[in-house]
Structure 1
Amino acid sequence: MANLKEVKNRIQSVTSTQQITSAMKMVAAAKLKRAQDRITQMRPYSQKLTGILQNVSSALDGEIENAFGVTREVENVLLVVVSSDRGLCGAFNNNVFKAAISAVEKKYSYENKHDGVHILPIGKKAFEYFSKRNYQVIKGYQDMFQDLTFDKVREAAEYVMESFESSAYDKVDLIYNESKNVATQIVRTEEFLPLQSESVSEERPSKSNVDYIFEPSAEYVVNELIPKSLKIQFYKAVLESNASEHGARMTAMGQATDNAGELLKQLKLTYNRTRQAAITKEILEIVGGAEALASDS
């Protein structure tokens, strides 16, 4: 059985850890509220803009050249993997990494055999993970989440769009965590480029039955609306990941705090038992010494 000093030192250590995890949980909760507000405001705008973009692409149907809607034979693929800059957020990062690896080994296995799959990591953890495992990592964007703004994300989005436009990549996928609620994050794999036009179904009118009015012109819509919409879609994915990260960290730190509480209960019980055993031993030694003195006299 451990002595009293060892148990007491461990109790102090676990108590300090519990205070840290509790503080981290509160910080994550505060950041989560702000992140959720941002993504809640962004979602309707992004969804509506994406719907308009798909309708416009279907209506134009090749009448006007759209560099971001060109479908080419897939030889080079770019996977944009969004992670976090810091750890202590449970399985948040590992789930994204597993989805990316699954895409490389299954969806793009042929391209991967011919060195046609590249990784664009957003977040320090993704950069470190894929760099150490000999994946083809390009231009990592680290420390983006320290001060997350549209301008920072736009830089990454423009790099991806320019790379696709110059035919450096034939397809671009986004892999990130979507925030469903505080405790649940869903890994999403979305086709970012080429731009997918909305398919025409029996329930939807065909192109010939739809009359779109373009103002000031269809060319302006293609050259201005489509790039802006793609940047907004990219920004939304990063915001979703940011909110998911804080939710995952809040949940992980809450569980760590609870586990520390359970461990403290066990340690305090062990401390009391050890203390009782020490007191009993001392009493027995005193009684034994008293009896020895009595027998000598």
Structure 2
Amino acid sequence: MSSTKEIKRKITSIKNTGKITKAMELISTVKMKKAQDLVLEKKDFVFEMLKIFLRVEKHLSDFPIFNEGKGKKTLAVIITSNKGLCGGYNINVMKKVSNYIKETGEELEFISLGKRGAQFVAKTGNKLLADFSEEFSDNIEPIFAMKISKLMKEEFLSGNYKKVVVFYNYYVNTIKQVPSAKVTLPVKQDSLKVYLEKIAGQFFDLEEEKKKIDGIHGYAVEPSVSKVADEVLPIILNMMFFDTILEAKASEHSSRMIAMKNAKDSANKIADKLTLSYNKARQAAITREVSEITAGVESMKDL
């Protein structure tokens, strides 16, 4: 059995580790809540976009983003973390990419958000078109998502790719995150409407708003409906991709929060076991010393 001094040193070390993991758990909780709040902040903007979309949706069928691209390859956007200590968050996304390639046989070229994803692309020998890991922080701004969304759209319309797929962890709740492969381009016209209605419907009476729009006759749009639609569509796509990034970030922080909670609980259990061992070792030492003193006293009586 280890000495009491050595056991006490281990207990101190384990408890210090537990304090660190608890702090990391609390930090991840705050960051996860922040990512969730960002989704709600744009509700008014989404509602106005929906009202414009409902007026121009009949004129969208000829836009190229609704049709499959001319290329043979697939542009993949992989969203992972820059740091570790987040459980199976990164591994699950990488497995999703590997399974997707096996199932479809498609040739993928990548845009990465997160150092873990960039490292995965390099190890597997795939082509990395762009890496935004250095700019991919916990404080995500819409302009960052807009830059990547613009690149995705330009590459898709260039004719080099037939579609754009985003690999990320879909946020279900704090406990559950599902690795997903979401086709971003070509986009389905109905999916734009569903996306806008899903967000706006939580805060506004959509049926009443639709009646107001239907009651408007001879509504003039300048310079033209197609020009307005050409401006509106990229904004909606940027917003959808920004939501995807926020979901990935919320999933990352949830995974790290759970991982750190498990680490903290394990540290506490180990500390309890070591404390028990320490008490046993100390009791054994005390018993031995008492026995030695008693034996010494008894031996002195015979003199």
Q: Same fold (TM over 0.5)?
A: yes
Aligned to 2:22: 22
Aligned to 2:182: 190
Aligned to 1:139: 130
Paired residue type of 2:181:
T
Moved more, 148-157 or 50-59: 50-59
Aligned to 2:295: 288
Moved more, 5-14 or 251-260: 251-260
Aligned to 1:224: 231
Superposed CA deviations along residues 30-68 of structure 1, whole A, max 9, x for unmatched, are 222211111234479669968986995665433xxx232
Aligned to 1:266: 273
Aligned to 1:4: 4
Q: Does 1:151 align with 2:143?
A: yes
Q: SS at the partner of 1:178?
A: strand
1:166 Cα deviation (Å)? 0.9
Q: 1:85 aligns with which of 76, 79, 82?
A: 82
2-structure distance, mates of 1:106, 1:182: 29
Q: SS at the partner of 1:137?
A: strand
Aligned to 2:256: 249
Aligned to 1:118: 109
Moved more, 262-271 or 248-257: 248-257
Q: 1:266 to 1:102 in 2, by over 3 A?
A: same
Contact 1:96–1:187 (CA under 8 A) maintained in structure 2: yes
Q: 1:22 to 1:39 in 2, by over 3 A?
A: same
1-structure distance, mates of 2:16, 2:243: 38
Q: 1:226 to 1:260 in 2, by over 3 A?
A: same
Superposed CA deviations along residues 272-295 of structure 1, whole A, max 9, x for unmatched, are 011111111222222333334444
1:214 Cα deviation (Å)? 7.4
Q: Does 1:102 align with 2:99?
A: yes
Contact 1:214–1:221 (CA under 8 A) maintained in structure 2: no
Q: Does 1:179 align with 2:176?
A: no
Q: Does 1:215 align with 2:221?
A: yes
Count of matched residue pairs: 276
Aligned to 2:199: none
User: Percent of aligned positions with the same letter in both sequences?
Assistant: 29
- The gaps in structure 2 that reach 5 residues or longer are 192-216
Q: Does 1:76 align with 2:73?
A: yes
Root mean square deviation of aligned Cα? 2.7
- The gaps in structure 1 that reach 5 residues or longer are 200-210
Paired residue type of 2:177:
Q
1-structure distance, mates of 2:54, 2:183: 13
* TM-score of the two chains, using structure 2 as the length reference: 0.81
Superposed CA deviations along residues 130-189 of structure 1, whole A, max 9, x for unmatched, are 322323222111131243111122211111111111122211011212222222222232
Superposed CA deviations along residues 233-268 of structure 1, whole A, max 9, x for unmatched, are 111100111112122222221222122212211111
Superposed CA deviations along residues 176-219 of structure 1, whole A, max 9, x for unmatched, are 122222222222321111122339xxxxxxxxxxx996723232
Contact 2:86–2:252 (CA under 8 A) maintained in structure 1: yes
